[in-house]
């Protein structure tokens, strides 16, 4: 038996003798608990990090499981409800765009569900509507003094007063330059303008540029129907049967006849010209400061002195 075992047996015997002096089960339980405390390994001391977190006030697991304390700190707080002046004004412009008749301020606020707000908020919104570039305010002609509750509102399109074919032709005739009209701008005040543009194109009253992908109209110019002349079908068929010579043959015949070809193909010249490879020159550094001025006599270029 080792020395450690002998000391353990002596310790247990002394503890049993001390416990025998106690009466009943209390002595037995006290002895067993004392023995267990002395034989059990020591509990680890709390670390610095745990004591620090406890001192700061980090909620425990029980506190986190309580109702009403489940807070996600990584998510930003809600900063708006979507009813700001900017967003509400965008909805008002879209709604007025689909209306053919002027609307009162109460009609606009009813659509936005804003009639329950205070008078000061409603007045502020009406003032912003009157300043908006896409909203036109029409004052009440029967009143000498206007208030924020008077008048009506209508959408002001990018191209005003163009909602049919006649108005479109008149607008194009009034233009003082040769620029075209964007169909996107026309749709701002005339959403279904494409069928009318197609009809005017067939009547040779407008020139239209269409997208290659879907054939939708993109730009519109004014056209003159009197300049259109229909070619007879017999002439079209006869022209399609004509076989034109190659461009180099036409140029050669013109040169033989003593004439300079005005439409000589530049691609043929490019093919005849020999290709010369250009050497890339190294660009010299500019704006750099020389720091080795004491060695300039050693760094000079003497390549031109080679035999």
Is the pLDDT confidence value at 291 over 90?
Answer: no
Give mean pLDDT, residues 77-102. 76
In order of 16, 29, 32, the CA distances from 40 in angstroms are 18, 16, 12
In order of 10, 36, 183, 221, the CA distances from 19 in angstroms are 14, 14, 104, 114
Q: Is residue 7 part of a domain?
A: no
- Are 122 and 175 in the same domain? no
CATH at residue 227: 1.10.10
Listed range (8-22, 76-90, 152-166, 189-203) with the worst mean pLDDT: 76-90
- Are 89 and 129 in the same domain? yes
Q: Is residue 64 part of a domain?
A: no
Is the pLDDT confidence value at 161 over 90?
Answer: no
- Are 164 and 256 in the same domain? yes
pLDDT-derived band at 290 (thresholds 50, 70, 90) equals low
Contacts of 159 (CB under 8 A, 6+ apart): 171, 181, 185, 186, 188, 189
What sign does the CA torsion over 95, 96, 100, 104 have? positive
Q: Is residue 100 part of a domain?
A: yes
Q: pLDDT tens digits for 215-231?
A: 999 999 999 999 888 88
- Are 256 and 175 in the same domain? yes
Q: How many domains does the chain have?
A: 2
Output the pLDDT for position 288.
63
- Are 136 and 179 in the same domain? no
pLDDT-derived band at 10 (thresholds 50, 70, 90) equals confident
Between these two residues, 92 and 244, which has the higher pLDDT value?
92
Which range of residues forms the domain containing residue 93?
85-155
Give mean pLDDT, residues 115-140. 92
The rounded distance, in Å, linking the Cα atoms of 142 and 88 is 30
How high does pLDDT run on average in the chain?
A: 78
- Are 130 and 180 in the same domain? no
Q: Is residue 268 part of a domain?
A: no
- Are 150 and 165 in the same domain? no
Give mean pLDDT, residues 228-242. 90
- Are 107 and 165 in the same domain? no
- Are 167 and 235 in the same domain? yes
Domain closes at, from 155, 187, 206: 155
Q: Is residue 143 part of a domain?
A: yes
Domain closes at, from 155, 185, 203: 155
181 membership: H or E segment, kind and range: strand 181-182
Domain closes at, from 155, 175, 209: 155
pLDDT-derived band at 102 (thresholds 50, 70, 90) equals very high
Is the pLDDT confidence value at 78 over 50?
Answer: no
Is the pLDDT confidence value at 60 over 80?
Answer: no
Listed range (206-210, 240-244, 261-265) with the worst mean pLDDT: 261-265
Output the pLDDT for position 287.
63
- Are 231 and 190 in the same domain? yes
- Are 208 and 235 in the same domain? yes
Q: Is residue 103 part of a domain?
A: yes
- Are 96 and 113 in the same domain? yes
Q: Is residue 40 part of a domain?
A: no
């Amino acid at each position: 038996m080792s020395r450690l075992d002998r000391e353990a047996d002596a310790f247990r015997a002394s503890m049993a003798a001390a416990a025998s002096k106690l009466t009943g089960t209390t002595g037995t339980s006290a002895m067993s608990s004392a023995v267990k405390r002395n034989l059990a390994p020591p509990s680890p001391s709390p670390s610095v990090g745990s004591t620090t977190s406890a001192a700061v006030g980090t909620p425990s697991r029980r506190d986190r499981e309580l109702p009403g304390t489940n807070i996600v700190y990584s998510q930003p707080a809600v900063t708006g409800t979507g009813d700001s002046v900017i967003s509400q004004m965008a909805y008002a412009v879209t709604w007025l765009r689909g209306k053919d008749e002027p609307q009162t301020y109460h009609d606009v606020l009813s659509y936005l569900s804003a009639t329950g707000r205070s008078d000061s908020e409603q007045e502020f919104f009406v003032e912003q509507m009157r300043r908006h570039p896409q909203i036109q305010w029409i004052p009440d002609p029967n009143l000498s003094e206007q208030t924020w509750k008077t008048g009506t509102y209508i959408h002001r399109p990018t191209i005003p007063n163009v909602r049919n074919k006649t108005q479109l032709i008149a607008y194009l005739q009034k233009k003082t330059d040769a620029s075209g009209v964007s169909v996107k701008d026309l749709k701002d005040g005339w959403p279904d303008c494409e069928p009318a543009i197609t009809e005017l194109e067939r009547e040779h009253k407008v020139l239209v540029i269409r997208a290659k992908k879907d054939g939708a109209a993109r730009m519109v110019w004014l056209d003159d129907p009197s300049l259109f002349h229909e070619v007879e079908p017999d002439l079209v068929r006869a022209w399609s049967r004509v076989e034109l010579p190659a461009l180099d043959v036409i140029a050669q015949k013109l040169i033989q006849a003593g004439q300079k070809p005005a439409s000589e193909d530049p691609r043929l010249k490019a093919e005849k010209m020999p290709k010369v490879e250009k050497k890339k020159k190294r660009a010299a550094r500019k704006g750099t400061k020389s720091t080795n001025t004491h060695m300039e006599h050693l760094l000079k270029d003497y390549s031109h002195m080679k035999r």
